[in-house]
Structure 1
Amino acid sequence: MKPGRWSLLGLALTVAPVSLPATGESLLADPFATTHGLPAAPGELWRGEAHLPPLPKAPAAKADWLGRDWSLAELTDYALSHNPQTAAAWDGLRAQAAALGVAQSAWLPTVTMNTSASRRQAVSTAGFSVPVRNSVSPNLTLSYTLWDFGLRRAKVDAARAQEWVAGFTQNQSIQAVAFSVAQAYYQVLGNRALLLADRQTVAEQEKNLEAAELLHRAGQATIGALYQARAALAQARSALAAQEQTLRGSEGNLAAAVGLGPATRIGLADLRLDAPPPPGLAQAAETLMQAAEKANPALQASRAQLAVAEANVRSARASGLPSLALSGNYGYQFQNGFAPGDTWSLGLTLTVPLFTGFNHHYQVRQAQAQADQAQAQLSQSQSTTLTQVWQDYHNFQGTLASYPGARSSLENAEKALEVVRAQYRVGQATIQDVLLAESTLAQARYTLIQNLVSSYVALAQLSQAVGMPLGEVQP
């Protein structure tokens, strides 16, 4: 067999469909074996090998987190430097600033240099060969757009507006992190106060049980009253155990918001039941709504998005207009056996789009529709911001208005329990009266604690809606 036939046979074996026994597919159906390791059925888990980047290192916590009581301002300051959310927003802003530089680079000329090296020899059909020629040809090219009817300016404006969007997004992330820290902080304080209240309830129920046992031994209380006192104590201990776990969960949320591991425990001062709520605001709701129109970062980001869309409209329109560019070229050639030679050129290029298959027409329509969409989204963002400020303002006012009643309820419940206990010792009240008074006191404690926590959370939420700090932030 001739050598040419061997080549044809090898090519035929290469392209012939070879069946794979495992899958029944031909080799050409998956020549790179991309389906190797995939599940055989839809319901099976994928267990392929994934080369993933390593997880970030766990945040290093300070050794003295429990050594002292940390204020909300200190925790917020630490969170803004260590929470991944603020870091991601900052990196996004830096990236957008670089994108602005990319757009501005279009105002400058571009200069490129390329060099080619070759070795060539030719052999004629008569058997004569031309001597080998070695050549090196460096070449320098200049290109500069002189006029483009505002295309570059529009792209720079769009990039600058995108930087505004990224900046306001970073501000929004900072406020979101600060609010999450404040909310988790107040939640921990509230859960700790509820835990102390539950401990007080357990201690009071233990006293009730001791009194019921004494009266039962003296024949002044029934066995049913004794069982009721035991049941009330068991319920109080159960509530205490559940509250301990609730507190641990809220402490994990605070640590995560600060930028630490959820197992980190942070020292905080306890919330006192005699602590006053935050003072009322001097500004009216309408004043805060006007302030939000200038300070709320989400609303400002929507305004910047509209600026981006309007710049894109100008860019789309300018892309269909003529452009004038300057181009220059200089080359030099070195070749053995010949003297070096150079070539150069300088010229102007006028580009006039005559017909693009309606591509430019639809680009303008798309950009204009996106600008109209950005305008509608801005109106929606404005309405949402003002409504949120209105609701948060009255929510905060509601917590302040309910505080005097919660405080009075606790004071009267404490007095009522003292009277009922005294009556119970002398047989003028039943165990049901004592348990009812105890339940009323416990509920009054819970209401006051929740009112205090809710008032500070409502103030923090109102500050986030407006876009600036308002009033007191720490009880």
Structure 2
Amino acid sequence: MTSPAADKPWAPNGKEDGLWSAQTQPSPEAPPTPNGAADFRVPANPELAAMPQTPDVEPNRNYTLPELIDIAQRNNPSTRAAWERARTAALAVGMVEATYLPLVTANVIAGRQTAETPLAIPVGTQRYFTATSEGVSPSVALQWLVFDFGQRAAVADVAKQGAITANVLFNGEHQKLIFDVTRTYYTYGAAVARVRIAQQTLRNSIAIRSAVEERLGRGLATTVEMAQVRQQVAQSELRRVQAEGQQRDAYQALLAAMGVNATLRIHVEDAGRRRLPDATNVPLDSMIKLALAQRPDVIASYSVLQASQSGIKAAEAEFMPKVFLAAGAATGQGNFNANGLPTIGQQATGSGVLVGATVPIYDAGLRAAQLKQAQSRAAAAESTFQRTQTLAVTEIVAASNALRTALESYKAASALASAATTTYDAALEAYRNGVGTVTALTAADSGLLDARQAQADAHAAALIGAANLAFVVGAMTSREAVP
């Protein structure tokens, strides 16, 4: 079922268990390419081209961030996968708890045997002595582990902690999804703002060109000035094209975070004009305590630590005896038939109850090694828990600093944009009145573009920083909790 050589392509041979239908079954040998090279393409299966169902959206509606999060939570495959993992972990608890109850089995044994023995002296035409025996013995057996010094309880606690971990991580998956959609939503808003700024800059450059053309018509401008403004218009057009490309990339990133089809067309409400608060000192101590008490990764890590402690108890119980109860009830029926003799039949029934104990004596150090493994896993789980706590504190401090920097940057960028607007308006008016230069005017135009883009980027960074801080604290728990 594989390629005949390392430089030869693999091709299906019809034993792929329905991966390719009979209508699309490719030939066993893939034809070479026109230039004679081996073709390593994989045969196509049209059934795999079916795309996931696209969520229904209203084409003329602008969707807000909470509405986008709602669509993502209902359609993202990662949350459904996390839910199935939680269900699997919950079923494991029931599987362990089933070991507390007895195991009842039904068994049936049946057989038939025929033996022929040559006769030393034939009796008439009979030269062989034939004997046939047959029988059926149905039975019901019961096995019950009565006492095991807490081994099953420890294993059950491990399973319960695993279920708790899976459920906590399921909620954590939703929190991460909410944050990812929020982050890409604000990034997309910044990209939209950059397009709007680039379009305005292009209009400004065209206005400068018109002013130069007007002065050139009156003989007050030079061809060098005309070349400069044409270069400025071309530069502004390039920035507009680049900004629109970044907007398309940001839109695809938003759809990817939502987990929906990349071909979905949805109108997103603009959050670029949202007012921001001033930078303030954030109470780190209270946020750190809150995060350590409610972050899913911290809780899951602690649950793994608890499970490892129960694993030690389960390993220690292997050194202790186990008491079991066994019971059975059986009936049997057999027949014996020989040549010329009457058939002999027998039927019997029986039942019994046994109570026993098994004590491990020697196993070449297997149980001791298993105990050391459990202790090592517990030590590693404790270190992981401490590392998770430390990482959580580090993320909170970093997120708080990033938010403060973003808010201060937005304040500074807003002042810069206001000053750049004044500079541009003054430079344009001065040039029209013949007291300014094209060089100063184009520089003011470029400075205004940079200032406005810095303001838009700082605005989006502040919103993303607030979302990131809420996420690392563990407070981004619903679509209504987004900052």
2:389 and 2:86 mapped to 1: Cα distance?
23
Which deviations, in whole Å up to 9, do the C-alpha atoms of 1:277-296 show, x marking residues without a partner? 25767851111111010111
Q: Give the gaps of 5 or more residues in structure 2.
A: 21-46, 120-126, 336-343
1:221 and 1:211 mapped to 2: Cα distance?
10
CA contact (8 A) 1:251 1:262 kept: no
Q: Give the AA of the match of 1:40.
A: A
2:115 corresponds, among 116, 119, 122, to: 122
Question: Secondary structure, in 3 states, of the residue corresponding to 1:121?
Answer: strand
CA contact (8 A) 2:413 2:454 kept: yes
Task: Give the aligned partner of residue 462 of structure 1.
Answer: 469
2:481 and 2:237 mapped to 1: Cα distance?
33
CA contact (8 A) 1:278 1:455 kept: no
1:152 and 1:305 mapped to 2: Cα distance?
18
Task: Give the aligned partner of residue 37 of structure 2.
Answer: none
Residue 44 (structure 1) shift = 4.8
Q: Give the AA of the match of 2:250.
A: S
Task: Give the aligned partner of residue 433 of structure 1.
Answer: 440
Is residue 360 of structure 1 aligned with residue 367 of structure 2? yes
Task: Give the aligned partner of residue 371 of structure 1.
Answer: 378
Residue 407 (structure 1) shift = 1.5
1:472 and 1:74 mapped to 2: Cα distance?
10
2:49 and 2:381 mapped to 1: Cα distance?
37
CA contact (8 A) 2:168 2:299 kept: yes
Which deviations, in whole Å up to 9, do the C-alpha atoms of 1:114-172 show, x marking residues without a partner? 11222222222436444433322111110001111111011001101111111122122
Matches within 5 A, 1:170-185: 170-185=170-185
**Higher deviation after alignment, 255-264 or 128-137:** 128-137
1:97 and 1:63 mapped to 2: Cα distance?
33
Task: Give the aligned partner of residue 413 of structure 2.
Answer: 406
Q: Give the AA of the match of 1:295.
A: Q
Q: Give the AA of the match of 1:334.
A: Q
Which deviations, in whole Å up to 9, do the C-alpha atoms of 1:222-268 show, x marking residues without a partner? 21111111111111111111222221121122122223111212211
Residue 445 (structure 1) shift = 1.0
Task: Give the aligned partner of residue 210 of structure 1.
Answer: 210
Q: TM-score, normalised by structure 1?
A: 0.87
Task: Give the aligned partner of residue 245 of structure 1.
Answer: 245
Matches within 5 A, 1:62-77: 62-77=55-70
Matches within 5 A, 1:4-23: none
Aligned residues: 438
**Higher deviation after alignment, 56-65 or 325-334:** 56-65
2:212 and 2:9 mapped to 1: Cα distance?
61
2:469 and 2:61 mapped to 1: Cα distance?
30
Task: Give the aligned partner of residue 38 of structure 1.
Answer: 3
1:44 and 1:236 mapped to 2: Cα distance?
53
CA contact (8 A) 2:282 2:400 kept: no
Residue 40 (structure 1) shift = 1.2
CA contact (8 A) 1:65 1:265 kept: no
Is residue 328 of structure 1 aligned with residue 324 of structure 2? no
Residue 56 (structure 1) shift = 8.4
2:405 and 2:252 mapped to 1: Cα distance?
29
Task: Give the aligned partner of residue 21 of structure 1.
Answer: none
1:197 and 1:277 mapped to 2: Cα distance?
20
1:456–1:44 Cα change, 3 Å = farther
**Higher deviation after alignment, 137-146 or 50-59:** 50-59
Task: Give the aligned partner of residue 161 of structure 1.
Answer: 161
CA contact (8 A) 2:202 2:236 kept: yes
Matches within 5 A, 1:39-438: 39-41=4-6, 43-48=7-12, 52=19, 55=48, 57-126=50-119, 128-273=128-273, 275-277=274-276, 284-336=283-335, 337-438=344-445
Residue 415 (structure 1) shift = 1.5
**Higher deviation after alignment, 289-298 or 337-346:** 337-346
Question: Secondary structure, in 3 states, of the residue corresponding to 1:103?
Answer: helix
1:394–1:208 Cα change, 3 Å = same
2:49 and 2:396 mapped to 1: Cα distance?
38
2:470 and 2:114 mapped to 1: Cα distance?
80
1:474–1:157 Cα change, 3 Å = closer
Q: TM-score, normalised by structure 2?
A: 0.86
Residue 45 (structure 1) shift = 4.7
CA contact (8 A) 1:410 1:448 kept: yes
Task: Give the aligned partner of residue 31 of structure 1.
Answer: none
1:303–1:400 Cα change, 3 Å = same
Residue 408 (structure 1) shift = 1.6
1:48 and 1:161 mapped to 2: Cα distance?
45
**Higher deviation after alignment, 66-75 or 117-126:** 117-126
Residue 457 (structure 1) shift = 0.8
Q: Give the AA of the match of 2:440.
A: D
Backbone CA RMSD of aligned residues: 2.2
Which deviations, in whole Å up to 9, do the C-alpha atoms of 1:395-437 show, x marking residues without a partner? 1122122222222211221121111100001111111111111
2:412 and 2:475 mapped to 1: Cα distance?
30
Residue 271 (structure 1) shift = 3.6
Q: Give the AA of the match of 1:72.
A: L
Q: Give the AA of the match of 2:100.
A: W
Q: Give the gaps of 5 or more residues in structure 1.
A: 1-35
- Of all paired residues, the percent bearing the same amino acid is 26
2:56 and 2:168 mapped to 1: Cα distance?
35
1:74–1:280 Cα change, 3 Å = farther
**Higher deviation after alignment, 280-289 or 291-300:** 280-289
Question: Secondary structure, in 3 states, of the residue corresponding to 1:92?
Answer: helix
1:473 and 1:281 mapped to 2: Cα distance?
20
CA contact (8 A) 1:80 1:177 kept: yes
CA contact (8 A) 1:193 1:271 kept: no
Residue 39 (structure 1) shift = 4.5
Q: Give the AA of the match of 2:409.
A: S
Residue 89 (structure 1) shift = 0.6
CA contact (8 A) 2:475 2:481 kept: no
